Amino acid sequence: MMIEQPLAHDDIIDHASLQKRLKTPICLDESIHSLEDARKAIEMGSCGIINIKVGRVGGLTEARRIHDYCVEKEIPVWCGGMLESGIGRAHNVAITTLPGFTLPGDTAASSRYWERDLIEPEVTVTNGVIHVPEKAGIGYEPNRELIEQFTLYSETFRAS
């Protein structure tokens, strides 16, 4: 289906040369930190697919911008994970409901990585499918008791 990030993270030029010689689409992952990176990579023909990681691109707003641009350019995207706790996982579940996420993501069940996840309910996978909660916000409740239990240090900041 694709070859993911075969060359260096900061090299969209050689990825473009390689993509020209391959039928298999190159998927860029580490090369894409922003909409600007996506635009340059796509304009140069460096990839046929992009892996959008919410954490890698700095949050949901930039992830959404990259997604919208890729839809416009007919570049399929999928959502990669960075071993998030349930809170990050919930964001991944939400963003993958956008129409450009046409390739399977690698968001797994909470139980794949955690004895107990930090959200209620935990993310579960049934026959390869994650049910998307319809509640507002991230769709899951942070388990504050568990977060407190695992917190080593905290500091409170107040606006002056």
User: What residue ranges bind Mg ion (CB under 5 A)?
Assistant: 4, 29
Minimal CB distance residue for Mg ion: 29
Contact between 14 and 36 under an 8 Å Cβ cutoff? The reply is no
Of 104 and 121, which CB lies nearer to Mg ion in the complex structure? 104
CB of 133 to Mg ion, least distance (A): 27
Tell me which residue has tokens 């399977």: 104
Q: Contacts by 24-28 with C-beta closer than 8 Å and gap 24+?
A: 25/1, 25/49, 26/2, 27/2, 27/3, 27/51, 27/78, 28/4
CB of 159 to Mg ion, least distance (A): 38
Of 101 and 140, which CB lies nearer to Mg ion in the complex structure? 101
Q: ω before 99 within 30° of 0 (cis)?
A: no
Of 9 and 144, which CB lies nearer to Mg ion in the complex structure? 9
CB of 113 to Mg ion, least distance (A): 17
Of 27 and 35, which CB lies nearer to Mg ion in the complex structure? 27
